[in-house]
Amino acid sequence: MTIQKIGIAGAGTMGTGIAIAAASNGCDVRLQDISEDQLKSAQHRIVTFLARQVAKERMTEDQARDIADRIEVISELTVFAACDMVIEAIFEDFKTKATLFENLSELIRGDMPIATNTSCLTVGNLAKHVKTPERFIGMHFFSPAEINPIVEVVRGKDSHPAIVDLGLEFARAIGKRPILCKDSPGFALNRFFCPYTNEAVRALAEGLGTTAQIDHVAQECFGAAAGPFQVMNLIKPQINLNAIRNLDRLGPFYAPVPEMVKLGDSGLDWEIGELDVPDADQTKKIADMLMGGTFLAVLQCLDEQVASAEDIDFGAAHALKFSKPPCAMMNDLGMMGVERLIRSNLHRYKLPTPGSLAMIGQLAA
């Protein structure tokens, strides 16, 4: 089966980005939203993005016009009946998504593939609201979806292998690099990115450094394009907090620290002042805390076979912009070095040593 006509429910930032990516690679797109204002905003964003690409000589005016013509903005779900696949990209709220899937199930044919762009809700729970859940998968795009190359393709408990393969094929067809994931909280990348940001806030709370200093150390340590506080401000601390809260079921290690909850619930951004470069001892303490939390989450992810080491590192490098991705870093540090870094969290939370620790040095990356 070839996906030529794609329906996208939700014309916000993610839905519009997915629409641009699909149309840029030859798909006909029906971009739907119940808000006329949202649809107008989506149209403006599409035109602005394409104009910028023309100005940068990444495409011609004729190519930009063809892409824009392949995107139709609509307010009714009924148009999806003629599509080959539907991707949901609405607000990250379970009840709202569940209602949409129930409505979609009545409007489209029973074998049409449906994907959710959720970043933190489980595919299996959402699938309970889809008629014929075998056709349901996760396709988590990363922002900005029109540019970011990574898509987590999530296989739910009931997802048919042929539909999972179709999701992988469609992702590649629109120029993305898919990462195949098990349906587990946080999937592959948020599984360790959330603890990474949580440990950054813990370092702040324990007085190890300022937000600027912790960002600086993170950038040096992971080769990150931006530090955790800067990234949290970009995606919004409240959204980051919601993602962390969805990992709570994995145990106390994943629970948000009180300072993360306070700032996230306030709706404010982190204050990032001028950088006073930390000394060597300060840098080591911050780096150890960040690496310890990140590495433990990755090792648990590998133990549970959520994703491969190769995919985790590729996603870290291309979605999160870590030029030193975690599995490669652990290979370089060696088993004893990594064990030292995760030891305090293992003791604090009474966790077993991850079996994947023994594979360090041989982790595919």
Query: What CATH number is attached to the domain comprising 113?
Result: 3.40.50.720
Which of 182, 207, 237 is where one domain is finished? 182
Nearest to 242 by CA among 264, 267, 271, 268: 264
In this model, does residue 334 exceed pLDDT 90? yes
pLDDT one-digit tens code per residue, 288-331:
999 999 999 999 999 999 999 999 999 999 999 999 999 999 99
Which of 166, 182, 198 is where one domain is finished? 182
Q: What pLDDT score does 230 carry?
A: 97
Answer whether residue 242 is part of any domain: yes
In this model, does residue 260 exceed pLDDT 80? yes
Q: What pLDDT score does 364 carry?
A: 72
Q: What pLDDT score does 2 carry?
A: 85
pLDDT one-digit tens code per residue, 315-325:
999 999 999 99
Query: What CATH code is carried by the domain that includes residue 195?
Result: 1.10.1040.50
Residue 361, both tokens: 């040095």
Nearest to 146 by CA among 246, 11, 19: 19
Matching residue, tokens 């290690």: 253
The helix/strand count (H/E) of the chain reads as 14, 8
Task: Give the whole-number percent of the chain exceeding pLDDT 70.
Answer: 100
Residue 306, both tokens: 């959520």
Strands 71-74 and 85-88: unpaired
> For the residues 263-277, what does the mean pLDDT come to?
96
Q: Which residues belong to the active site?
A: 140
Question: Residues of 245-271 as b/e, b for ≥16 C-beta within 10 angstroms?
Answer: bbbeebeebbbbbeebeebbeeeeebe
Q: Kindly state whether residues 56 and 82 are assigned to the same domain.
A: yes
pLDDT one-digit tens code per residue, 18-54:
999 999 999 999 999 999 999 999 999 999 999 999 9
Q: What pLDDT score does 365 carry?
A: 52
pLDDT one-digit tens code per residue, 138-179:
999 998 999 999 999 999 999 999 999 999 999 999 999 999
Matching residue, tokens 């997802």: 159
Q: Kindly state whether residues 148 and 221 are assigned to the same domain.
A: no
**Which residues face 139 on adjacent strands?**
153
Q: Kindly state whether residues 51 and 162 are assigned to the same domain.
A: yes
How many independent structural domains does the chain possess?
Answer: 2
Q: Kindly state whether residues 138 and 170 are assigned to the same domain.
A: yes
Answer whether residue 198 is part of any domain: yes
Which of 131, 151, 182 is where one domain is finished? 182
Q: Kindly state whether residues 212 and 147 are assigned to the same domain.
A: no
Q: Kindly state whether residues 13 and 91 are assigned to the same domain.
A: yes
Q: What pLDDT score does 213 carry?
A: 98
Answer whether residue 165 is part of any domain: yes
> For the residues 54-79, what does the mean pLDDT come to?
97
Alpha carbons within 13 angstroms on the beta-carbon side of residue 122 total: 16
Query: Other C-beta atoms within 10 Å of 29: how many?
Result: 26
In this model, does residue 278 exceed pLDDT 80? yes
Answer whether residue 364 is part of any domain: no
Q: Kindly state whether residues 174 and 224 are assigned to the same domain.
A: no
Q: Kindly state whether residues 226 and 313 are assigned to the same domain.
A: yes
Q: What pLDDT score does 1 carry?
A: 75
> Could you tell me if 190 and 259 are in contact, meaning their C-beta atoms sit under 8 angstroms apart?
no
Answer whether residue 365 is part of any domain: no
Distance (Å) of CA 234 to CA 94, 109, 118, 226:
24, 39, 19, 10
Strands 5-9 and 28-32: parallel
Task: Give the amino acid at 35.
Answer: S
Q: Omega of the bond prior to 144 within 30 degrees of 0, cis?
A: yes
Q: Kindly state whether residues 178 and 195 are assigned to the same domain.
A: no
In this model, does residue 281 exceed pLDDT 80? yes
Task: Give the amino acid at 95.
Answer: K
Q: Kindly state whether residues 164 and 213 are assigned to the same domain.
A: no
> For the residues 55-70, what does the mean pLDDT come to?
97
Domain range for 176? 5-182
Q: Kindly state whether residues 66 and 166 are assigned to the same domain.
A: yes
pLDDT one-digit tens code per residue, 191-240:
999 999 999 999 999 999 999 999 999 999 999 999 999 999 998 999 99
CA distance 33 to 29: 13
> For the residues 120-127, what does the mean pLDDT come to?
94
Answer whether residue 287 is part of any domain: yes
DSSP assignment of 239-282 equals HHHHHHHTTGGG-GGGSPPHHHHHHHHHTPPPP--------HHH
Q: Kindly state whether residues 178 and 198 are assigned to the same domain.
A: no
